[in-house]
């Protein structure tokens, strides 16, 4: 699915988006405490947003059967929340990678604060070309990160390469539900994705086919959209409030430090992600697959 002809969102644009909007995530998503920029899963027993974010980690860790014997690549690790969670609850080693040096600094502090620096480390790397040796990891883990890849096939091939025989891929991300969209639908997706520095979403059927073509087996896809809708509504509410506040500030001739193109774009994207989900243009899924053993 192409949302804008000949458009590629460069790595530096992704870095700028996250580095410039981190204050919004701290204020609204409680990033310092929750260590995640994700939707979270509102499932049975979840009473607040922090628990929803932890539930997302928990569900993925269980699905991939992660143990203290595993070495996990946290692809697109953000501020390290998933790596820290896995080290604390599963006792495994984790290597987190992200394009943002700023995020690496925060992630390293989070690992230190939670006492898992001996199990977790972070590096600035591109998850489509990591430079790690073949067959390094037992698990490749990616939460709401693969959407940023210009060509999702590059991520799939790299994940297959760095996984050990018998290794597992576990993902949670947004996916497109159709191969093509009409003009109105494309506009909704464009206003959402490009304001979040996402070039497009992978089409579910095409993504699963590419997993098989690359050599993965036992591939599974599970629709988790109902469990992210509460967070989607929260995003819409805070975005409308923030945009209204910005409008009032501008109307009286003031401009605040947080009123930047990336921050405004983040709020606009947060508005449009909701109709994309409600209208079934996208869905949030867990993807699991295995590399054949020797």
pLDDT at 137 over 60: yes
3-state SS, residue 167: strand
Contact 197, 13 (CB under 8 A): yes
For residue 112, which of 69, 77, 140, 83 has the smallest C-alpha distance? 83
Exposure of 192 in the CB half-sphere (CA atoms within 13 A): 24
Residue 188 domain-assigned?
Answer: yes
Q: List beta partners, residue 126.
A: 129
Residues of the chain with pLDDT > 70, as a percent, come to 92
Let me know if residue 5 belongs to a domain: no
Q: Are 258 and 24 in contact (CB under 8 A)?
A: yes
Residue pLDDT, tens place only, 97-118: 999 999 999 999 999 999 999 9
Mean pLDDT, range 182-200, rounded to an integer: 96
- On the question of pLDDT at 1 being above 50, the answer is no
* pLDDT at site 252: 65
Question: Could you tell me if residue 132 is inside a domain?
Answer: yes
Token pair belonging to 82: 């998933």
Q: What DSSP letter does each residue of 96-158 carry, written as one string?
A: EEES-HHHHHHHHHHHHHTT-TTTEEEEE-BTTB--PPTT-EEEEEEES-GGG-SSHHHHHHH
Handedness of CA 283, 174, 180, 281 (dihedral sign): positive
Query: Residue 94 pLDDT > 90, yes or no?
Result: yes
Residue 248 pLDDT: 61
Residue span of the structural domain in which 16 resides: 11-290
DSSP letter assigned to residue 203: B
C-beta of residue 66 within 8 angstroms of C-beta of residue 72: yes
Query: In what side-by-side order are the strands of the sheet with 217-223?
Result: 120-124, 93-98, 71-75, 137-143, 163-176, 282-290, 217-223
**Structural domain contains residue 58:** yes
Overall size of the chain counted in residues = 294
Local structure of 137: helix, strand or coil = strand
Q: Which range (18-32, 43-57, 180-194, 237-251) has the least confidence? A: 237-251
Task: Read off the CATH number of the domain in which 220 is found.
Answer: 3.40.50.150
Is residue 2 in some structural domain?
no
Average pLDDT over residues 157-169: 98
Q: Give the number of other CB atoms < 10 A from CB of residue 190.
A: 17
φ, ψ dihedrals at 242, nearest 5°:
-65, -40
Taking only the tens place, the pLDDT of each residue in 38-74 is: 999 999 999 999 999 999 999 999 999 999 999 999 9
Q: Is residue 4 part of a domain?
A: no
If one counts the domains in the chain, the total is 1
Q: What is the mean pLDDT of residues 243-262?
A: 66
Q: State pLDDT tens for residues 264-290.
A: 889 999 999 999 999 999 999 999 999
Distance CA 205, CA 259 (A): 39
pLDDT digits (tens, 9 = 90+) for 214-239: 999 999 999 999 999 999 999 999 88
Confidence class of residue 84 from pLDDT cuts 50, 70 and 90? very high
What is the model's pLDDT at position 27?
87
263 pLDDT tier (thresholds 50, 70, 90): confident
pTM of the model: 0.93
Please name which of 118, 138, 121 lies closest in space to residue 69, comparing C-alpha atoms. 138
Percent of the chain having pLDDT more than 90? 85
Which one-letter DSSP state was computed for residue 150? S
Does any domain span residue 45?
yes
User: Is residue 84 a part of any domain in this protein?
Assistant: yes
Q: Which of 150-164, 202-216, 233-247 has the lowest mean pLDDT?
A: 233-247
What stretch of H or E contains 240?
Answer: helix 229-251
Sign of torsion, CA 78 84 89 92?
positive
């Amino acid at each position: 699915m192409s949302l804008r002809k000949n458009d590629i969102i460069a790595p530096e644009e992704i870095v700028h988006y996250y580095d410039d909007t981190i204050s919004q995530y701290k204020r609204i998503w409680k990033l310092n405490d929750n260590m995640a920029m994700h939707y979270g899963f509102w499932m049975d027993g979840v009473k607040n947003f922090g628990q929803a974010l932890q539930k997302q980690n928990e569900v993925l860790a269980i699905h991939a059967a992660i143990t203290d014997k595993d070495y996990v690549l946290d692809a697109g690790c953000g501020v390290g929340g998933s790596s820290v969670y896995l080290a604390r609850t599963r006792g495994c080693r984790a290597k987190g990678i992200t394009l943002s040096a700023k995020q690496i600094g925060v992630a390293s502090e989070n690992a230190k604060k939670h006492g898992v620096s001996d199990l977790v480390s972070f590096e600035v790397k591109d998850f489509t070309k990591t430079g790690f040796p073949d067959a390094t990891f037992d698990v490749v883990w990616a939460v709401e990160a693969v959407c940023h890849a210009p060509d999702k096939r590059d991520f799939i091939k790299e994940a297959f390469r760095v996984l050990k025989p018998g290794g597992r891929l576990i993902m949670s991300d947004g996916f497109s539900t159709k191969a093509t969209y009409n003009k109105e639908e494309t506009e909704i997706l464009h206003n959402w994705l490009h304001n979040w520095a996402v070039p497009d979403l992978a089409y579910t059927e095409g993504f699963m086919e590419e997993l098989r073509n690359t050599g993965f087996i036992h591939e599974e896809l599970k629709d988790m959209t109902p469990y992210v809708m509460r967070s989607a509504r929260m995003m819409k509410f805070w975005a409308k409030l923030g945009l209204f506040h910005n409008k009032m500030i501008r109307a009286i001739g003031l401009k605040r430090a947080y009123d930047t193109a990336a921050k405004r774009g983040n709020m606009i994207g947060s508005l449009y992600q909701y109709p994309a989900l409600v209208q079934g243009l996208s869905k949030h899924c867990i993807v699991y697959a295995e590399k054949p053993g020797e």
